[in-house]
Amino acid sequence: MKEIFETFKPQNPVVKKFVDYYYIDIKPTNANTEFQCFPHFNNTISLYQSHIRLKNGAMKFVAGPARPFQIFTPIRDKVLTVKQTGKVFRIVIVFHPLGVQQFYKNVNFSDYITDYAFFSPQELKDFFSTTETTMLTGLLDSSLEKRFERFENMILEKSIQYIFNHHENFSVTAISCNIGVSRQHLNRVFQSHLGISVKKFHEIVVFRQSLNKKLFENPGRSFTKIAYDFNFSDQSHFNKTYKNLTANSPKSFFTKGIVLGKEDTFWHLKP
């Protein structure tokens, strides 16, 4: 088996509304890998073929009849360091902000979930039986579709859409007035269903939008102009936001990182 990192999209019309993309991560000769992921408004379910999770959070390959390991990662508002020991066969589902709720009910967004069977043993066996993304897409789509049960929350749906449409001119007051609920209630709903405040969600959206603009839309655009595009008060405010969210200046953040696959997976790989 060769080393693979590949992103691919769901094809099922129901699933693709709520899942942004999948990816497969295979390192057959890995000894130790460490990388940093950065704040994102998505959330993920990661499936490891034969691993245990150590007390320090590292994922360690276990030879023999180990069970697949399933872990849910909520919306990230801090740098996430991932450590992998031994060979890796990992499949990840990347959900839109209100995606995972459409397939799994009563998910706790306050922390990682490592003790829940998101998929059955037979489903996991099927997933890990192939590295062919067309086949894997069909398997993942089918397993998610059969769990689909529409989750609706108009406050969240309208608020999230408002933030994406008005991220340059944002205020919690403007959203609460637009939706017709109090600021306090709005924050309670966000904390309950997304695990973060409205303000923090907006901050992450702006960060990811500015990141995407620099990486994929206009790589030559200066940081000063990007700060202006996203209505930061000045370059210092832009730098501070990146420092708070990534522990790096904008220049250092982009210089150290690498895009993996064809989506917005942008990591810092440790040597």
Q: Where in the chain is the domain with CATH 1.10.10.60?
A: 154-247
113 DSSP 8-state letter:
B
N-terminal to C-terminal alpha carbon distance within the chain: 23
Q: What is the mean pLDDT of the chain?
A: 93
pLDDT of residue 3: 95
Considering only CA atoms, which of 227, 200, 164 is closest in space to residue 39? Answer: 200
Look up the CATH number of domain 4-145. 2.60.120
Architecture of the CATH domain 154-247 = Orthogonal Bundle (1.10)
pLDDT of residue 94: 98
The residue whose two tokens read 């904390």 is 191
Reported as a single tens digit per residue, the pLDDT across 104-116 is 987 877 788 888 9
Q: Is the pLDDT of residue 170 over 90?
A: no
pLDDT of residue 168: 75
Reported as a single tens digit per residue, the pLDDT across 232-252 is 888 999 999 999 999 999 999
Tell me the residue length of the chain: 271
CB 81 within 8 A of CB 38: no
Whole-number percent of the chain with pLDDT over 70: 99
Helices marked H in the chain: 121-127, 133-145, 154-165, 172-179, 183-194, 198-212, 223-229, 235-246, 250-256
pLDDT band at 187 (very low <50, low <70, confident <90, very high): very high
Q: Is the pLDDT of residue 166 over 90?
A: no
pLDDT band at 263 (very low <50, low <70, confident <90, very high): very high
Q: Where in the chain is the domain with CATH 2.60.120?
A: 4-145
pLDDT band at 65 (very low <50, low <70, confident <90, very high): low
Reported as a single tens digit per residue, the pLDDT across 110-161 is 788 888 999 999 999 999 999 999 999 999 999 999 999 999 999 999 999 9
